[in-house]
Amino acid sequence: MVLIPVPKPPKSAINPDRPVSKLLRNQMEHLQKAEFRLPVKQQTNTYINAIKTEGEAADYIRQVTQAIHGAHGVEPKGVAPGPVAVTPRRKSRGSDIAAVAEERPTRKRKTARTSKAKAKKKTRTKRTG
Amino acid sequence: MSKGLDNLKHIVVLMMENRSFDHMLGALKVQDPRIDGISPDLSNPDSTGASVKAQPLAEFQGQLDPDPDHHFPGVDLQIFGGDSSAGRVPNMQGFVKSYFSQRHDVNHSQKIMYYFTPDKVPVLTTLATEFAVFNRWFSSIPGPTICNRAFAHYGTSFGKVGMDLFYINEPFKSIYDRLILANPKRTSKLYYYDQASSTQEIVNLLQHQPELFGTYQQFLSDCKKGQLPDYSFVEPNYSDHDGDNGAEIASDQHPDHHVQAGELFIATIYNAIKDNPDLWKSTVLLVVYDEHGGIYDHVVPPACAKDGFVASANDTGTGRAFEFDRLGIRVPAILISPWIPKGTVVSGRTFEHASIPATVTKHFLGDYDQRSPREKAADTFLDLITLDTMRTDCPDFGV
């Protein structure tokens, strides 16, 4: 039996501040359609056009996915650990957005970008799906 | 029926993102001429008319930025080289032109012709040479992710050629619906990486049947406990994001995500199955990519059975309607099982993503009429499991 070594990507490969791709943009739009069918209290009230980075997109996607599962009373086992953890955990913005959703049941535009994300905004062209 | 096929209880599909066959596996032709990969004469003209050869210079990250166009009009240019005449013939001569149109940089546009050497993608190339590699597995539509992934779930995209939503109450059920409604009931699951990555199959299934979903961690657990369902569809991580154990790196290999992260992910899926001896002998794993991502491939997508739907000229963006009568660009596809002979190269047959529900349906449900014309016409692949004695020489990956 042969053991094939599998190189790991460098820590520098990860970039949650990478501009959100067309694929993720579409995923968010699809999820938003889904969350609008949830009870108002379970909606995130996130203005997704303000989401500019992969990290921000992931926060939104996580909240809506959790909300959909919660609305159906089913939670998949396990939510996070994967094979690659290459940098220390960053402060999540998800709880902040969720808190806003809980306090404000009516829909309101919300900017999801952080000042840090703005500062790191890059000029790279957006990716497509 | 071979003993291997007789033992088969589980089918697992791992669908990665946006890489062409030649880009990932084309270099294997040097070591095995049966593999229809890169040859020295392959080229595309650039915007100056100069000939640009395919070169083994692909890098893991930072090279394909901006993301190469792979929406319907862009792929049309890549396949037909910019010829819009009525009698045009596909020639795969428009890749460099297409990429040039995004950044208007002649040197940069040539990178769309770059491919990996086998040492750079050891997981994928090892699996391709150890098990069965498909010379002719094409994406289902010359277009982007969502419509192509739809073919893997439904055997059709219901007439869509883009990233649009599509809705339930369509005429054909997903493979998951077919299985859970069967008598006797079958089991299936879509494993997304985690809730921050979630699934690309949202509207129809996550919204209405969230019980079908699990996480990557659950996949590992189900493999370990021997609780894998009859059919599993695994999605990689689509984004760099925070996880409970630290930052998670995208593993989908979508440009400009790091290719080695995807290699690692493929290896962990393989290992999870192989590490459970009972599961290993009763499972087949298909690793396949949803579409080519705008990256060069030399094989002309063939004509195919019409799907019964028509995308309008407005929807295609090319000025002409599309009757779903031509496949998309070729992608890497590898079938893995200890009952498949080492070094199997599947030639002379054509597969596409509709082959997935066609195969799963045939194996677990048998005759099933309510399927799309494309799925009914799609070839199935379990006949590649031919051995009567299980191999003991299959590789392990050190992750």
Q: What percent of chain B has pLDDT over 70?
A: 98
Which two structure tokens, joined as six digits, stand for B84?
């819009």
**Could you count the other beta carbons within 10 Å of the beta carbon of residue A35?**
24
β-partners of residue B241 are B248
A32 exposed, middle or buried (CB, 10 Å; 0-12, 13-18, 19+)?
middle
Amino acid at B359: T
DSSP conformation class of A19? B
DSSP conformation class of B26? G
Q: Going by C-beta distance under 8 Å and a sequence separation of 6 or more, which residues neighbour residue A48?
A: A28, A29, A32, A60, A112
Quote the Cα angle for A24-B265-B252, to 5°.
Answer: 20
Mean pLDDT (chain B) is 96
Sign of CA dihedral A86, A111, A121, A126: positive
User: Which residue in A30, A62, A78 is closest to B196 by CB distance?
Assistant: A62
Cα(B38)–Cα(B41) distance, integer angstroms? 8
Mutate to test the interface with B, among A22, A27, A44 (most CBs of B within 10 A): A27
β-partners of residue B246 are B243
Mean pLDDT of A8-33: 94
Q: Which of B210, B146, B272 is nearest to A68 (CA)?
A: B210
Torsion angle of C-alpha atoms B252, B76, B307, B311, degrees rounded to 10:
100
Distance from CA of B22 to the nearest CA of A (A): 20
Mean pLDDT of B334-343: 98
* pLDDT value of residue A122: 43
Q: Going by C-beta distance under 8 Å and a sequence separation of 6 or more, which residues neighbour residue B22?
A: B37, B38, B42, B54, B115, B295, B296, B297, B298, B330
Local confidence band at B88 (pLDDT 50, 70, 90 cut-offs): very high
User: Which residue in B123, B202, B267 is closest to A34 by CB distance?
Assistant: B202
User: Which residue in A15, A31, A129 is closest to B145 by CB distance?
Assistant: A129
Which two structure tokens, joined as six digits, stand for A9?
């990507």
B169: left (phi over 0), alpha (psi -120 to 50) or beta: left
3-state secondary structure B324-369: CCECCCECCEEEECCCCCCCEEECCCCEECCHHHHHHHHHHCCCCC
Burial code (b: 16+ CB inside 10 Å, e: under 16) for B158-174 equals bbbbbbbebeeebebbb
Mean pLDDT of A57-64: 96
Cα(A120)–Cα(A122) distance, integer angstroms? 6
Instruction: Confirm if B24 and B118 have CB atoms less than 8 A apart.
Output: no
Q: B270 or A115: which carries more pLDDT confidence?
A: B270
Name which of B202-206, B327-331, B343-347 the model is least confident about.
Answer: B202-206
Mutate to test the interface with A, among B248, B252, B263, B264 (most CBs of A within 10 A): B248
Q: Which of B138, B146, B186, B152 is nearest to B167 (CA)?
A: B146
**Could you count the other beta carbons within 10 Å of the beta carbon of residue B276?**
18
From A27, which residue of chain B is nearest by alpha-carbon distance? Answer: B200
* pLDDT value of residue B38: 98
From B204, which residue of chain A is nearest by alpha-carbon distance? Answer: A34
CB contact under 8 A, A23 and B102: no
* pLDDT value of residue B167: 62
* pLDDT value of residue A77: 67
A95 exposed, middle or buried (CB, 10 Å; 0-12, 13-18, 19+)?
exposed
Q: Where are the alpha helices (DSSP H) in chain A?
A: 22-35, 54-72, 94-103, 115-119
Q: Going by C-beta distance under 8 Å and a sequence separation of 6 or more, which residues neighbour residue B16?
A: B236, B252, B253, B262, B266, B287, B288, B289, B290, B332
Kindly tell me if the per-residue pLDDT of B165 is higher than 80.
Answer: no
- Measured in whole angstroms, the distance separating CA B30 from the mean position of its chain's CA atoms is 23
Kindly tell me if the per-residue pLDDT of B222 is higher than 90.
Answer: yes
**Which residues 70-99 of B are in CB contact (within 8 Å) with A?**
70-71
**Which residues 239-298 of B are in CB contact (within 8 Å) with A?**
239-251, 254-256, 258, 260-261, 263-265, 267-268
Instruction: Confirm if B173 and A1 have CB atoms less than 8 A apart.
Output: no
Task: Work out whether strand B188-192 and strand B231-234 pair parallel, antiparallel, or are unpaired.
Answer: parallel
User: Which residue in B163, B254, B263 is closest to A26 by CB distance?
Assistant: B163
CB contact under 8 A, B258 and A5: no
Cα(B186)–Cα(B365) distance, integer angstroms? 9
Q: What percent of chain B has pLDDT over 90?
A: 92
Instruction: Confirm if A106 and A3 have CB atoms less than 8 A apart.
Output: no
CB contact under 8 A, B66 and A9: no
- Write the DSSP assignment of A24-59 as a string of letters: HHHHHHHHHHHHTTS-GGG-----GGG--BHHHHHH
Cα(B95)–Cα(B74) distance, integer angstroms? 9
Name which of B72-81, B237-246, B370-379 the model is least confident about.
Answer: B237-246
Q: Which of B320, B299, B321, B318 is nearest to B310 (CA)?
A: B321
Cα(B34)–Cα(B25) distance, integer angstroms? 12
Mean pLDDT of B145-149: 94
Instruction: Tell me the ipTM for this assembly.
Output: 0.94
Cα(B240)–Cα(B61) distance, integer angstroms? 14
* pLDDT value of residue A72: 86
Cα(B291)–Cα(B158) distance, integer angstroms? 18
CB contact under 8 A, A84 and B261: yes
Local confidence band at B1 (pLDDT 50, 70, 90 cut-offs): confident
CB contact under 8 A, A34 and B70: no
Any CB–CB contact under 8 A between B196 and chain A?
A: yes
Distance from CA of B325 to the nearest CA of A (A): 22
β-partners of residue B231 are B11, B188
